[in-house]
């Protein structure tokens, strides 16, 4: 059973460039979450989807960040334009729809903005 798959694992780019992070959730999971992790702020929830629909994006830091889920097996998190302070590890997680079901995380994308 494949887990949550994220790509790329590492991304290094220059400030001002567009960055797109990708996530494939576990099949059958109706919830998808995007997190950002830094030393200073720990794990922060950015946005989550239920059945491909964004439910709460209050954690998205600013308009430079956007997330989409065009179908049940794919989601993207885009940063445009990127800034050095966006450097972090970005995690995607998915879970089944029942209350209390645990989240299953991918191994993350380590993003470095120069």
Partner 1 sequence: LAKTTQPISMDSYEGQEVNITCSHNNIATNDYITWYQQFPSQGPRFIIQGYKTKVTNEVASLFIPADRKSSTLSLPRVSLSDTAVYYCLVGGARSSASKIIFGSGTRLSIRP
Residues that bind partner 1 (CB under 8 A): 4, 31, 33, 42-43, 45, 47-48, 55-56, 58-59, 91, 93, 95-108, 110
Tokens for 5, please give them: 């798959």
Which residue number, 29 or 86, has a Cβ lying nearer to partner 1? 29
Which residue number, 20 or 45, has a Cβ lying nearer to partner 1? 45
Least distance from C-beta 102 to partner 1, angstroms? 4
Report the C-alpha gap between 101 and 97 in whole angstroms: 7
Least distance from C-beta 31 to partner 1, angstroms? 5
């Amino acid at each position: 059973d494949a887990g949550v798959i994220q790509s790329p694992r590492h991304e290094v780019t220059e400030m001002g460039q567009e960055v797109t992070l990708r996530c494939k959730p576990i099949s059958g999971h109706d919830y998808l979450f995007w997190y950002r992790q830094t030393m200073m702020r720990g794990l922060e929830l950015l946005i989550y989807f239920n059945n491909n629909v964004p439910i709460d994006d209050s954690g998205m830091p600013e308009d430079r960040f956007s997330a989409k889920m065009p179908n049940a097996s794919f989601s993207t998190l885009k940063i445009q334009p990127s800034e050095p302070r966006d450097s972090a590890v970005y995690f995607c997680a998915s879970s089944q729809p029942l209350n209390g079901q645990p989240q299953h995380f991918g191994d993350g994308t380590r993003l470095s903005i120069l």
